[in-house]
Amino acid sequence: MKKLLIALVTLLPSLAMAAGGHEVDLESANVDLHDKASLERGLDLFQHYCSGCHSTQYQRYDRVATDLGISTDDMRNKYMFTDAKMGELMENAIPTVDAAKWFGAAPPDLTLVARVRGADWVYTYLKGFYADESRPFGVNNTVFPLVGMPHVLQDLQGLSVKDEHGNLVTTGGSMSAEEYDQAVRDLTGFLVYSGDPVKLEREALGWWVLGFLFIFFIIAYLLKKEYWKDVH
């Protein structure tokens, strides 16, 4: 009986998901946090196309510069559009109340979005805008129905239209489909990094810890042998 209960409780969340119905298949973001050039391109896109509305306010400019190997000059000249200082948080200038009025919802802070939603969700979301005349900005989104955000990357991607099978057909746009995928992967990578900036450090630290444990094990073993050698 107890076992059955436990099995039921473990199953419940997946049952609830299944009952949710219109779950959309997410595409795999495949981000590579070790590819700093990709993360820097992501930062570039974010600052140009997103930071007007969204903040990453748990991140500081100088921290991002250090982590991604960007010089102070480059950070200031290429990626900072306000008179913020290097040590300041990456906030934006849109007042939340106005933004909520303009878009029906305030643009949320995106520092943690890749952790909350998952990288694949963010990736699919950025590819998922399609034309829908009934919406205020003329677009809807496959993973975020009735989204309040305009398709800010339309110049790059072009505009998608749903065909009779519900597939997206995209035309226009300055980038090829592959280039756009890469751009969105870079952007998603930057957001994954933002949500967990110490991840790379932690991985490196992990190897030191394992190394220490290994050496310590040898010492402990030799010590044990020494202590027990006269005991019979």
Name the residues that contact ligand HEC, by CB under 6 A.
Answer: 49-50, 52-54, 103, 105, 107-108, 110, 113, 117, 122, 125-126, 147-150, 152-153, 187
Q: How far is the CB of 218 from ligand HEC (least distance, A)?
A: 49
Residue with smaller CB distance to ligand HEC, 80 or 149: 149
Per the structure block, which two tokens stand in for 102?
């303009």
Residue with smaller CB distance to ligand HEC, 29 or 126: 126
Q: How many helices (H) and strands (E) does the chain have?
A: 10, 6
Strands (E), the chain: 56-60, 89-90, 129-131, 139-141, 159-162, 168-171
Could you tell me which of 38, 51, 58, 9 has the C-alpha nearest to residue 188? 38
Could you tell me which of 50, 47, 111, 39 has the C-alpha nearest to residue 79? 47
Distance (Å, rounded) from C-alpha 216 to C-alpha 210?
Answer: 10
| CA angle (52, 55, 57) in 5-degree steps | 150
Q: How far is the CB of 197 from ligand HEC (least distance, A)?
A: 17
DSSP 48: I
Per the structure block, which two tokens stand in for 54?
């969204």
Q: How far is the CB of 150 from ligand HEC (least distance, A)?
A: 5
Residue with smaller CB distance to ligand HEC, 116 or 169: 116
Q: How far is the CB of 15 from ligand HEC (least distance, A)?
A: 24
Q: Which residue has the tokens 């027990």?
A: 228
Residue with smaller CB distance to ligand HEC, 68 or 147: 147
Residue with smaller CB distance to ligand HEC, 63 or 144: 144
Distance (Å, rounded) from C-alpha 35 to C-alpha 87?
Answer: 24
- Which H helix or E strand runs over 56? strand 56-60
Q: How far is the CB of 155 from ligand HEC (least distance, A)?
A: 11
Q: How far is the CB of 43 from ligand HEC (least distance, A)?
A: 11
Residue with smaller CB distance to ligand HEC, 136 or 206: 136
Q: How far is the CB of 123 from ligand HEC (least distance, A)?
A: 10
For the purposes of burial, counting CB atoms within 10 Å of the CB of 91, is it exposed (0-12), middle (13-18) or buried (19 or more)?
middle
Residue with smaller CB distance to ligand HEC, 117 or 185: 117
